[in-house]
Amino acid sequence: MFRIDLLPAEYGDAIWIEYGRLRRRHRLLIDCGTSAVFPRLRERILALRESDRHFELLVITHVDADHIGGALELLRQQQELGVTFGEIWFNGYVHLTPGGVVPRPEAEDILGPLQGEVLTELIVANGAAKWNAAVQGGALVVPESGPLQVLRQLPGGMKLTLLSPFQGQLDRLRPAWDAACRKAGIVAGAATVDDRTRLDEVEEPREEDDLLGDPDVGQLAARAFKPDRAAPNGTSIALLAEYAGRRALLSGDAFAPVMLDALARLPGNSPGRLRLDAVKMSHHGSRGNTSVELVRAVQCENWLVSTNGKQFRHPDSEAIARVIQDGGAGVKLHFNYRSEFNETWAALGLQRKHGYSTRYPADDGEGIQLDLSTGLAR
């Protein structure tokens, strides 16, 4: 099995992945949504046998509240829940400087450069040796040149290749780190404030879509691509996850040109489209993170969108239109909520005209599930 669950994560991501044999499952968790949705994740963990509450890896893609909020709760309650992690991947303040590595526990200044960030303290409390262990405590960055190698093969055989960030994206976050941490609620003492009140990300004004009738896919897809420039999003960890011949692109909120550059350097990626079995659309289907070039670089049937549309009204119609128009025949859009921002795509006439299909959760708050090894969706 290679099953991807997009848990309900409000306007964020909480991606629960299981792989392996039915009786010997392995797990990894990529982001944990906002703090408000943590109870769902908690329930899910408590439903596991006590002896089975292990994740080979926890990835916290970047410092935004919609990815980190629930992770703070999870790490706080880790002992009580009896959860263990093989490794934790997160680029913290120490990694924003080239060559920066996680200080050894015996180093006296361990909390010095860490700025009292709650998240960092929680990771260290969990065992500093697990932090970015795949790169000996260094930064998770894509090498500047050359073919990309598998960064880590997890127990059970899941292979992970890093596709974002490059050092340049980490450099850009350095001066903005404190502000980003405050916004995400990971500065000491600030983490209990409702993270929704701190969002001050500015979105470009939207062009009003035609509210009457079906959206014009061709026109939407052709709108000029204005790339996302938010420094925290740029530092997102994006991964190619491969197991038993299936491949998924797990893109966090990463930049499209960054992932394009990395995808082109995958060994064996001959000219033409890279075959993938699933793409988790970057930045909740924002138009600034899915370019026509990115869609055309891959051959993929399943496109996953994680958001309830709150805050930023994602997904953007332009991004969805690009996937429908350039994603090839038989595109399937999987939404983990039904919202006023994605239900236009449910129109059957539109689906017939453009040859795609949609899937929404049966019940709100259920999220969606897709098994790449069997093709079964739920």
Long-range residue pairs from 358-362, CB within 8 A, at least 24 positions apart, any chain: 358/332, 358/333, 358/334, 359/332, 359/333, 359/334, 359/335, 360/335, 361/8, 361/335, 361/336, 361/337
Map tokens 């944990």 to a residue: 32
- In angstroms, what CA-CA distances link 356 with 281, 301, 369? 16, 9, 19
65-76 vs 38-46: helix crossing angle, rounded to 10: 40
Pick 36 or 217: Cβ nearer Zn ion: 36
Pick 117 or 253: Cβ nearer Zn ion: 253
Nearest to 180 by CA among 236, 136, 250, 121: 236
Residue 82 CB, nearest approach to Zn ion (Å) = 29
Residues whose CB falls within 8 Å of the CB of residue 127, separated by 6 or more in sequence, listed in order = none
Pick 66 or 87: Cβ nearer Zn ion: 66
Residue 293 CB, nearest approach to Zn ion (Å) = 22
Residue 283 CB, nearest approach to Zn ion (Å) = 6
Residue 48 CB, nearest approach to Zn ion (Å) = 26
Other Cβ atoms closer than 10 A to 351: 16
- In angstroms, what CA-CA distances link 105 with 71, 94, 121, 300, 324? 22, 14, 12, 44, 50
Pick 152 or 284: Cβ nearer Zn ion: 284
Residue 256 CB, nearest approach to Zn ion (Å) = 15
Return d(Cα 39, Cα 55) in angstroms, integer. Answer: 18
Residue 288 CB, nearest approach to Zn ion (Å) = 12
Residue 75 CB, nearest approach to Zn ion (Å) = 19
Pick 66 or 228: Cβ nearer Zn ion: 66
Map tokens 């060559």 to a residue: 99
Pick 54 or 198: Cβ nearer Zn ion: 198
Task: Give contact residues for Zn ion (rule: CB under 5 A).
Answer: 66, 253
Pick 228 or 253: Cβ nearer Zn ion: 253
Pick 11 or 131: Cβ nearer Zn ion: 11
- 31's tokens: 């982001």
Return d(Cα 63, Cα 65) in angstroms, integer. Answer: 7
Give all strands (DSSP E) within 173-306, no chain letters: 238-243, 246-250, 274-280, 298-305
Residue 67 CB, nearest approach to Zn ion (Å) = 5
- In angstroms, what CA-CA distances link 19 with 47, 139, 174, 318? 18, 26, 36, 33
Please provide residue 172's backbone torsions phi and psi, each rounded to the nearest 5 degrees: -70, -25
